[in-house]
Chain A
Amino acid sequence: MVRLSGLVLLGALLSVGPSACVYDAANRCGPHQLILDNDRCGCEAGYVPGTAGCIPCADNERETNGACVCVKGYARPADGAACEPLPAALGTACDSESTPCEPGSKYTLCHVMDGTSGYCTSACASQDDCDGGYKCHADGADSFCRRPPLGYGGSCKTDDDCAGGEATFCEKIQQHICLVPCSAGKSDVCFEGESCCDFVIFHAICVPTDQCSANAGTVVR
């Protein structure tokens, strides 16, 4: 009886094994997800994380770095709103001495970036005054609607691929995308809502403020 019991136990134990496999090496992620390096899953192109898995972006949107952003020529009039066509005059190149912004439009302020050249935008008192993904850069009487960093999120292999924009640092460890470099005393290059973050192992970069400490970084002032 004892030997029979032993065989039954052996069979029961062995049945726990192969018959109960839970892992499928060819399907490690959820719906609309694909496997990334370091044993992670990311959303497929055109999909972003939702409350339960990945969901598709809406019309006039494209996915970038896990968020749905408006396609070129479109912007959200407010956070969470659907993408709408951008005002034509917003963000156009200007020169404070030779090429002023179009008079009569809402965007008559030429924000100078380098020397006398810049882009057309508007003054602001709050975020409500800004359009097209621009954010109100509070600077007293000189507050203006600030343009998102040029080149941010573009794919790259070296810093050379990021040249010409404001996101000139190529993150080469994982995602190979252009990010905005910053440093102590020069953290104002970070866009509104972002902070200069030191991750120790590479150059300090601008990231959304809540993602800095959440990813073991230190905010640099």
Chain B
Amino acid sequence: MRRAALLGLFAGVCVARPAVAQNAAAPEAPRSTAEPTVAAPVASAPAAVTSPSPATSGSSPPAKANSVVPAIAPQAAADDSFTSSDPSTAGVLVGEEGPKLELYGFADFSYLHTFGSKTNILKQYVGPYPSFYVGHLNLYLASTLGENWRALAEVRFTYSPMGDDDTQAADGTFPVQDATAVDYAELQRTFQWGGIEIQRAWIEYQPFDFLAIRGGEWLTPYGYWNDDHGSPTIITVHKPFPIGDGMFPEHQTGLIALGKYFIGGAALGYALTLSNGRGPYDAIRDLDNNKAVGGRLYVESSALGNLTVGVDAYRGRYTASTKRYRIDTSGSQPAAVIYRTTDSAYDELSLGADLRWIYGGLLVQGEFMMNEAAYDDRYRPRTVGFDPRPTFAADYRRIGGYLLLGYRTRWLNLMPYVMAEHSSYTNTDLAPPAWAYTAGVNIRPTPNVVLKAEIADAHFLGMGSTGLGKDDLPYFGSQVAWAF
């Protein structure tokens, strides 16, 4: 099904082309700092583009704003029976007048092996058996829509919800989501369907070199990891705890203004955001009247290697509510009344600071962040645990961060790396504060292929309300990631 959809997309647009050529040889240095340029695909391998686009930041797509895109992949189209052989009917998108769609993306294939005894709760939770899996298959759709206008969408194809076994049942089991469906096209045989996660979808207008305005869903501009999230770009196999725990929202829906101003050998970049904020389904609906605001400021300098220092902020309100109805009989005749009851609500503030220094083959990268929340006392959620007394979630200030050190050698284009990370987990009764240490190697045999292998150990400073932290979680992870 997915293949068919892709074929249709290719056939309809007829401008698909391998993105491999876009990836010039480059280390994992993200676009935003390695070179203040655009035109790198998701792998963030900066291509040799000479015209800087100051307004773009690390979250920028590989904008080929003025690049010349072949109208069609000639041989492929000719051999493809789904496309027209008559150029006059091949579709307006192929012509000179229409916007050109660029398709590219990344994928990764991983192996995870956790260690520990059978009673290790985390091992049982994360994955009790060594497993191979395809983790990401992300497709980017970029288009220049005219002078100063462009658009980007990123979708992740995923096997989920197949295999989701995170929800407890009343009988003490974790029933797995069954994504098996009958294949009506194949004599009622069965197959397992997956899902699509829209990572971002925005349109941008850039009236000035130092200002671009985007509307839609975008990745929250903070630090480095969240923006440069493509697995060929990031050094390690797994993202650090504080990034995965969402101390800042991973993405938001709303407006963002961003840009970069060059001063000599340095550049000052910024981003200001206005969004729905965090919510149970904030990508499509805000459940309160409070809009979230935030932003990022960073300075890039090439005086001694590439140095980037940034600060980030986010302020918003989370509200979860349930839509209900009742029958109002106070009037002359019954009438339905629809209203909402709030389940949980809190105000939150996130602050972050980050640093990245690339000097020759050396990479030093760290992000440190804080997220605090104060619940509305009327809607403070209950917590669960072994405590026979009902308990409530406490207001919290959680802190976290990571520090990554690596050195890219010329030999095999190999980078040994170590990373230390911490997350205080004061936002949940289940998890105690955690530290994790990782050591691994990252090899880039070609600009678009990355091999990774690492060993890691996470340990906890306490038990948590359910004993989650009673054991360490050592594991081995490896991955091959590629950009296409």
Contacts and interface: CB of A to CB of B under 8 A. Distances in A.
Contacts of A216: 168, 384, 466
B297 to A, nearest CB: 6
Interface in A35-75: 35-36, 38-43, 48-49, 52-53, 65-66
B393 A40 contact: yes
Interface string B255-276: 0000001000000101010000
Given A9-B270, A12-B272, A41-B380, A30 B392 contact: yes
Given A40-B383, A65-B388, A215-B466, A13 B297 contact: yes
A212 interface: yes
Interface stretch (A18-26, A117-125, A141-149): A18-26
Contacts of A22: 346-349, 372-374, 395
A23 B396 CA distance: 7
Given A17-B313, A215-B466, A24 B392 contact: no
A151 B479 CA distance: 55
A170 interface: no
B392 A49 contact: yes
A175 B293 CA distance: 41
Given A23-B372, A38-B432, 11 more contacts: A2-B261, A12-B295, A13-B272, A43-B389, A52-B377, A175-B389, A199-B467, A200-B119, A201-B470, A213-B172, A216-B384
Contacts of A213: 168-172
Interface stretch (B41-49, B194-202, B355-363, B421-429): B421-429
Contacts of B313: 13-14, 16-17
Contacts of B171: 213, 219
Interface in B363-392: 372-375, 377-380, 382-392
Interface of B: 119, 121, 168-172, 210, 261, 268, 270, 272, 293-297, 311, 313-315, 346-349, 351, 372-375, 377-380, 382-397, 426-430, 432, 462-467, 470
B466 A40 contact: no
Contacts, number: 169
Nearest to A210: B170
Contacts of A66: 388-391
Contact of B349 (A20, A173, A200): A20
Contacts of B295: 9, 12-13, 16
Contacts of B270: 6, 9-10, 13
Contacts of A2: 210, 261
A198 B172 CA distance: 9
Contacts of B119: 200
Would you list the 4 A-B pairs with minimal beta carbon distance, nearest first?
A218-B172, A23-B372, A30-B377, A66-B389
Given A13-B295, A215-B466, A24 B388 contact: no
Contacts of B392: 29-30, 33, 40-42, 49
Interface string A70-91: 0000000000000000000000
Nearest to A171: B386
9 contacts: A10-B270, A13-B311, A14-B313, A40-B465, A43-B390, A66-B390, A171-B386, A200-B119, A214-B384
A21 B388 contact: no
Interface of A: 2, 5-6, 9-10, 12-14, 16-17, 20-25, 27-31, 33, 35-36, 38-43, 48-49, 52-53, 65-66, 153, 171, 173-175, 177, 179, 199-201, 207, 210-219
A178 to B, nearest CB: 11
Contacts of B379: 52
Contacts of A20: 315, 349
A214 B168 contact: yes
A215 B385 contact: yes
A42 B172 contact: no
A38 B429 contact: yes
B308 to A, nearest CB: 16
Given A21-B349, A28-B395, A52-B378, A39 B429 contact: yes
A39 B469 CA distance: 14
Given A30-B380, A213-B169, A217-B172, A16 B294 contact: yes
A13 B257 CA distance: 12
Contact of B394 (A14, A28, A211): A28
B315 to A, nearest CB: 5
Contacts of B261: 2, 6
Nearest to B294: A16
Contacts of A41: 380, 391-394
A21 to B, nearest CB: 6
Contacts of B377: 30-31, 52-53
B382 A49 contact: yes
Contacts of A48: 390
A183 B213 CA distance: 64
Nearest to B169: A213
Contact of A39 (B396, B467, B470): B396
Contacts of B294: 16
Contacts of B466: 199, 201, 215-216
B388 A177 contact: yes
A24 B394 contact: no
A216 to B, nearest CB: 6
Nearest to A198: B172
A9 B272 contact: yes
B297 A10 contact: yes
Contacts of B426: 39
A217 B467 CA distance: 12
A43 B374 CA distance: 18
A43 B462 CA distance: 23
A47 B374 CA distance: 22
A28 B467 CA distance: 23
Given A13-B311, A173-B463, A40 B386 contact: no
Contacts of B387: 36, 40, 42, 174-175
A50 to B, nearest CB: 10
Contacts of A17: 313, 349, 351
A66 to B, nearest CB: 4
A66 B372 CA distance: 27
A166 B374 CA distance: 42
Contacts of B464: 38
B372 A21 contact: yes
B391 A40 contact: yes
Contacts of A210: 170
Nearest to B124: A200
